[in-house]
Amino acid sequence: MTEKERIADYIRSLDRGNGPLLDRIEKDAKAENVPIIRKETSAFLKTLVAAKQPVRILEVGTAVGYSALLMCRVMPEDCRITTIEKFPPRIAAAKENFRAAGEEKRITLLEGDAEQILLSLKETYDFVFMDAAKGQYLHWLPMILERMPEGGILFSDNVLQDGDVIQSRFAVERRDRTIHKRMREYLFCLTHSEQLQTAILPIGDGAAVSVKIR
């Protein structure tokens, strides 16, 4: 086990859990290979939401609703989440989990293609959690920035791709080279945009936190 793995294990050992329902959702998702936010990253997400105290949250990539329900635990009572998912089995699971948590009134699940939905949105969101198709992050970024006010936070998960993003494109599997290229372009865009102040953190599978400054 590497030092990084030992540190991650220690951080996970300090986690106090998120209640029986969320702990069960997390366990079931792992057993069924449903990609959800990693434990150490989830603590960071909750901390950011608790600090920001947003009014409206946008989530791109609902999966089974785990991360949306995590945010519900720490966001203000009058905050509302809009979350986007296109995969029918995950939509059904997320709806059931929202119902079980009693959060149907605070979470709106929009079903369908993220691009089409992002283009149709009219509200602004002071916190955005991006956790969907990694190869589309760069494509979605202008649409998301249009919906963010100054001071809004964009949290992009899984940006280091288990370390692949730091490799030469020729060192990664051929089938992964397109997403590798797009993620490197996305991270360059986040860190060089005059609209954003961004930090990239080696937590979980990599997280980028960007604040819209103009």
Q: Tell me: the pLDDT tens digits for 159-187?
A: 985 544 444 554 455 555 566 678 889 99
pLDDT tens digits for range 137-163: 999 999 999 999 999 999 999 898 554
Per the structure, the complete domain to which residue 31 belongs is given by 3-212
More confident residue, 113 or 179: 113
What are the Cα distances from residue 115, in Å, to 119, 138, 143, 154, 187?
6, 12, 8, 17, 20
> Above 50 in pLDDT, residue 92?
yes
Number of domains in the chain: 1
Tell me, what DSSP letter sits at residue 162? G
How many whole angstroms separate alpha carbon 112 and alpha carbon 117? 7
The residue that leads in pLDDT, 58 or 4, is 58
Q: Is the pLDDT of residue 209 over 60?
A: yes
Q: What is the CATH number for 201?
A: 3.40.50.150
pTM over 0.85: yes
> Which pLDDT value is given to residue 78?
97
